[in-house]
Every structure is written in C-alpha cells, then in structure tokens.
Amino acid sequence: MIAAVVADSSVMLRRCVRHTLRSRDTLIISVLMPIFVMLLFTYVFGGAIDVGGSYLDYVVPGIMMLCTGFGSSITATAVSTDMTRGSIDRFRTLPMFRQAVLVGHVVEGVLRNLAAIAIAVAVAVALGFRPHARIWQWLGAAAVITLFVAAISWISVALGLLAQNPEAAGGLTYAIMFVLYISSAFVPTSTMPGWLRGFAEHQPATPVIDTVRELLGGSGAGGSATAAVLWCLALGSAGAAWSTLIFGRLSHR
C-alpha cells in the first residue's frame, strides 16, 4: 500500500515538475522577484532603517520566506489549472492513490521554493551577506524553512482547489504575501504602531523569520523556535486537511 502511494505520488511529482519547467517565464519571475525586493529594501530603504547592524543580514531571512509567498501563487494556479482543464477528472478514472496529484503539487512546490531560496541566498552572499551559523544551526534553519514551505504549499493547494479559475487562485495567495510583509521580515516589529505590532508579533511568519535569523546569526534559536515549529505544523495540518476535504467533495460531484 505504502509503496503504491509513493509510486503514484512520484509520477504526479514528475508531471508537476515538467509543467513548471515548461512555464519558464513564470518560473523566472518567481525567482527574480524576491531578489528585486531584496535589492529594493537593501539599497533604497535599508539606509533609513536602523536594525543595530547590517540591514542585509537582517533582511535575508525575510526574503527567504518571501520566496515562498511568490511560489505559492504558482502552486495554487497549477492546481486550479488541473481542475478547470479536466485533468483531475481523468486522474479519478485511473487505479491510483486519489490524493497523489495533490501530494505531487505539494512536493514540487517545496522543491521549487527551496531552489528559489537557495538562489536568493547565493545572491545575498554575493552582495555581502555573511551568516555566522555553524553546521547544526544551518541544519536547524533549513528544517524550519522546509516546514514553513511545506505548510504554505498545502495551503496553496487548498486555495487552488477552492478557486473558480487559475487567475482567482493566484489572487487568493496575495493574503500570504500580506502576512509576510506585516511581520519582522523587513523592519523590527517594535517600530510598528501598537495596533499593528500586536498582529505582527502573533502571526505565523514572525516566529519563523526570527528563528531563521537567530540561527543564521550564530545565536541560539531562542523562544521563537517552539512557536515557529508549532505554527508550521498547525498550518500544514490545516492545509492538508482542508485540501483533502475539498478534493473529496469535488470527487463526489
């Protein structure tokens, strides 16, 4: 049973990867946009923002999460495209694990977003980003990033199933971008007005970004690590359950 699930999901993963590679314009934009935002904040706004050190070092963890935000649009759009073009209906007639197509989209989204994050970090290093993390801190940061990417990918799949068309699916993911911008990604939350600061400090992105920032900075993960992991697990579980529920209802139409 498990072998069949893995085999079916692997087939769907290869299919999703091929589709993504064919859409080169979308792929390039999803990689370049976070880099452009990093350049904008570092060289246009960075000089006016006091973070007690290098602004580039401060902003890179936020840019990592921003890659996930841009990538979520691709995942949601791809899922919605499968729904509107009838691909899902054809898959239902095959003797395969029913949710394999969803797993394929999620795994492809995780791999694509991690690749985009790696490229953004490489550009940041070329610009002067100098992390002080040891190997275990790099591994810890990578684990938290992967958890967050997987959680957002599952939510993106649910939004893609929920949307009426691919354009609407891409628009629904703007909510993810909104949450990322109102966090500690680009400025310390302490500089925000009180009514906004409360939201920024108690939403999922801030503890994830703070944890990655602390680990890459060479310090311990601190108290934000527990909140980051719990948020990722909660969002991932909710996204997977939501996707499965919507997909099941659609399958019975």
pLDDT digits (tens), the chain, 253 positions:
677 678 877 888 888 888 888 877 777 888 888 899 999 988 888 888 888 888 999 999 999 999 998 889 889 998 988 888 776 667 666 666 777 888 899 999 999 999 999 999 999 999 999 998 899 999 999 999 999 999 999 999 999 988 888 888 888 888 888 889 999 999 999 989 988 999 999 999 999 999 999 999 877 666 789 999 999 999 999 999 999 898 877 655 5
Which of 230, 246, 90 lies closest to 159, judged by CA? 246
Cα–Cα distance for residue pair 12/142, rounded to 1 Å: 25
The pTM of the full predicted model, rounded to 2 decimals, is 0.90
The number of domains in the chain is 1
Predicted pLDDT at 214:
92
Residue range(s) defining the domain that contains residue 176:
2-251
List the one residue out of 196, 212, 241, 246 whose CA is nearest residue 62: 212
Per-residue pLDDT at 94? 65
Contacts of residue 88, Cβ cutoff 8 Å, sequence gap at least 6:
82, 101, 250
